[in-house]
Structure 1
Amino acid sequence: MFVDTSRFPFGINIDYESDEEVEGLQAMEAKAREFIDRDPYTQPIAELILAFGIESILALFLVRFVAPRKLEDSERWVVVGNCPSMHFETDDAPTPAIALRLYCAIAQDWADNILAGDDLDDSYPIAAAETEENARDLLSRIEFVREELIPLAEPRILDS
């Protein structure tokens, strides 16, 4: 099942304050492409669709791949910005808000394991030193995403 992109803000009715915001989101798109392209297990990118973004803070993209090995490998979410970059499956996250919640849960697992002194074998491999300071910093960023950004990513019912 493909993610429905009909409610994504990709260029439709977005009220940008300045060209700097557009350029910032374009830079985040380039960062997302680079992050995905570094993974040797992903296929070439067919489409990279902005699902949610606040320039220089966080952007969530839906990645669609050219000729996936299996149908379930045709899409992934990718998050970049002022938090660790990450990409993950869309199976349990059909909307941007749910994808951001899943991102927070995955990142929190890493931070919680660091703080508890547990091993990270089953955690997403976050590219940061495994220190208490980094774990606490990540938990602070996750709290911001949960409290401030996810509500903005929730679907809105438009008045008729």
Structure 2
Amino acid sequence: MPLQAAPDVSGFQLAPDLTGDDAEDSALLAEMARDAEAYIASHHWAPPIAQLFLGYGLGGVLALFLAHFSRPLPGGRDEWLWVAVGDLPPAYFVTDAAPTPGEALGVYCELMEDWADRVMAEEDLSEAFPVEVAPTREHAELLLGRVDFIRKKLIPLA
């Protein structure tokens, strides 16, 4: 199976060298880059990250990074993953169905909605993306509120 095509990162900033017009936002995004690296490194299957690119970020709220690994992930095809971190559950996912930051944020929303909907319906979570909070109605409602914010306010800007 051939390796996935490299995503277009021409408009992205390389982390951790994140700079912008707002020093506080840049510092928050640099901290979020470290969070994304730590989140991925916490998974035993993850090879070292060779490069981390900022695809979209709102400091302290949500950052979407594109991680390029030093070697393919187990399975031998993927070298790139999107990584979302912030004031919400972190997640990683492949780039195939989401080549742009806006599409990637849409995938993130779908993963989180699926989890929250299953929690609200008291369904089995074994097929849902693992969200690292207790599967309570309160957490599901909070997550659905954040997903709604991302869909209405952030995706149109990505």
TM-score by length of 1: 0.89
2:61 corresponds to which residue? 57
State the SS of the aligned residue for 1:72.
Answer: coil
1:9-60 per-residue CA deviation (whole Å, 9 max, x = no partner) reads: 559xx7523x211111100000000000001011110001000001000000
Identical-pair percentage: 40
| Equivalent pair of 1:97/1:150 in contact (CA under 8 Å) | yes
Runs (4+) off by over 4 Å: none
Stretches of structure 2 lacking an aligned partner (at least 5 in a row): none
| Equivalent pair of 1:10/1:51 in contact (CA under 8 Å) | no
Inter-partner Cα distance in structure 2 for 1:117 and 1:70 = 33
Q: CA deviation at 1:71?
A: 5.3
Q: CA deviation at 1:6?
A: 1.6
Q: How many residues align?
A: 151
State the AA in 1 paired with 2:153.
E
Q: CA deviation at 1:151?
A: 0.7
Stretches of structure 1 lacking an aligned partner (at least 5 in a row): 154-160
Q: 1:75 to 1:23 in 2, by over 3 A?
A: same
| Equivalent pair of 1:24/1:55 in contact (CA under 8 Å) | yes
Q: CA deviation at 1:145?
A: 0.4
State the SS of the aligned residue for 2:77.
Answer: helix
**RMSD (CA atoms):** 1.7
TM-score by length of 2: 0.90
Superposed counterparts of 1:1-160, under 5 Å = 1-9=5-13, 15-17=20-22, 19-68=23-72, 69=74, 72-153=77-158
| Equivalent pair of 2:29/2:60 in contact (CA under 8 Å) | yes
1:157 corresponds to which residue? none
Inter-partner Cα distance in structure 2 for 1:85 and 1:27 = 14
Q: 1:15 to 1:147 in 2, by over 3 A?
A: same
